[in-house]
Chains A and B, each alone.
Chain A
Amino acid sequence: MTRGNWGIAAQEVVSVRSVSKAFPLRGGPASWFCKSKPILALHDITLHVFRGEVVGLMGPNGSGKSTLLKLIAAALLPDAGRVAVLGSDTGTQPMDVRRTVGLAIAQERSFFPRLDAYENLAFFASLDNVPRDRRHNEVERVLEQCGLADLRHRLVHQFSSGMYQRLAVARALLKRPAVLLLDEPSRSADLQATRSLWRLVQTLAGEGTTVLLATHSLEEAANLAARVIFLRQGRIVSQTIRPEVSILRAAYAQFSQDEALVEELNCEACLP
């Protein structure tokens, strides 16, 4: 237990200490003999996230947001440093981590296209050790939570991008994770689905689920996150507590160092 920002005892759920991650430019056996300069994805990242906290990760493409989420989910291993979830190290106890972390990645092609939504979720529920007698109820619960109840028997190859995103969130919720990692969850989602997702995240956080949210939406970060972390070129460049859209807009423009984006954001700021 440690003390959080608001003076109450808070349980540290995610601990990232001095983590660095680089990807080799060339994979396969050739890389064993021929060294090439790796791509630095994360450099010396330290981050602590507490129970029930919603943390936003922002930054331009390639800044390391998704890599950080994958490291926390034990889908990737760090080159240096240590990542732990509820005290379990992702390198030495990956199964403990995978049981407690739900990851919704921003990727449409991660379902079985010839199976319907219910069948896809029931399949993943079995691999996530959801007991057989509870599986049906759990699948129905997450379909309901993500607004997909009416689409339960639609083959997923008929889904739109927004529906895929919601289905990915539903899959992440199947194991009732202590930590929910969302990678651009509202990308491609319509306004109603986005609002519904926000309400769901707020409810889950209220129930004690820790949420890390990678997003490009300033509004989403401002509405959901108690803390927003800005990443650029694999480094944490800023953290904002209880941010407002205007503050995020300024920070985003500053840290992305993209003149066109700054101009665009300034124009957006002028809108009524």
Chain B
Amino acid sequence: MMDKLRALVRRDLLAASRYRTALLLQMAGVLGEVAGLYFLARAVGPGFRPDGVAFFPFLLIGSSFYLCLVGGVQVFVETIRTAQMTGTLEVLLGTATRDIVVILLMAASSFLGRIWQLLIAFAVACLLFSLRLNPSHVLAFALAFAVSVLVVGAVGVLAAAVQIWTGRGSSVVWLFASAGALVSGTFFPVSALPGPIQQISRCFPITHSLDAMRITLLSQGSIKDIQGHIGWLSVYALILVPSSLLILNCVLRRARGDGTLAVY
């Protein structure tokens, strides 16, 4: 499995290295994004401290992890759609590797690119905009991130199933991303939302992910401090991971029956 993941990562790196302009523009985009958040926080002023932390780190963690986690859903649709458009999907799913494994590995390889962007964003913020993080409980952060990735990965698998079934998996990404932007506390604290929406917000997995990230990275929170969030995310993962894999399996079998695997 690791050998296949390595092959996919190598393929993606080789392809990315041959689109040098796009790579440079992407870096510039990350820099612009972090700078934008910094100046927004400065314009709002130091008096605004959502959940007791400075606004710039609040914003940066919110928007960077939000983009990364939404990217975790998006990569499934993107990789399948690209493979359909380039005519490689049927060939990839005709190799001696299981269909679901191929799809998961393709998405995983692409998701590593999103994590790379996230790391660049934090490096830029630390080096150029004096961001100070207090990750005294790295294990707690890693656990929160890992469970979050499992949940968004499962949503991504569902989006992949929709992409293969209808050719329009991007609708799932759009729904997930726009709902997330509104209710997950990405740009402002959830407490600013009206009461009923706050209740909805508590049912949305990214809200728990972002809360857990902020607690572990900014407030020196331990596993004990985020156990409620980890619990919620684990329940989502336990329900979504097996059901999404089952659904994707059914959709793939149906697409093989209909001959619509490569249709988009």
Residues of A bordering B, CB below 8 Å? 23-24, 27-29, 67, 70, 73-77, 79, 95, 98-99, 103, 105, 107-115, 119, 122-124, 126-129, 132, 155, 171, 175
Contacts and interface: CB of A to CB of B under 8 A. Distances in A.
B15 A112 contact: yes
A28 B95 contact: no
A98 B256 contact: no
Contacts of A109: 86-88
B14 A107 contact: no
- Among B86, B87, B95, B165, the most chain A Cβ lie within 10 Å of the Cβ of B95
B interface majority secondary structure: helix
B264 to A, nearest CB: 10
Contacts of A129: 96-97
A190 to B, nearest CB: 23
Given A23-B258, A79-B257, 8 more contacts: A27-B258, A28-B167, A105-B91, A111-B88, A112-B86, A126-B3, A126-B6, A175-B96
B220 to A, nearest CB: 43
A194 B231 CA distance: 63
A70 B91 CA distance: 11
B131 interface: no
Given A28-B167, A127-B4, A128-B95, A107 B87 contact: yes
Nearest to B166: A28
B19 A114 contact: yes
Contacts of A23: 258-259
Contacts of B93: 75
A127 B89 CA distance: 13
Contact of B259 (A74, A76, A111): A76
B88 A112 contact: yes
A86 to B, nearest CB: 14
Contacts of A114: 14-15, 18-19
Contacts of B10: 123
A128 B98 CA distance: 10
A103 B94 contact: yes
Nearest to B101: A127
23 contacts: A23-B259, A27-B258, A29-B166, A74-B94, A75-B256, A76-B256, A77-B257, A99-B96, A109-B86, A110-B86, A112-B15, A112-B86, A114-B19, A119-B11, A122-B7, A124-B91, A126-B4, A127-B4, A127-B7, A128-B97, A132-B3, A155-B18, A175-B96
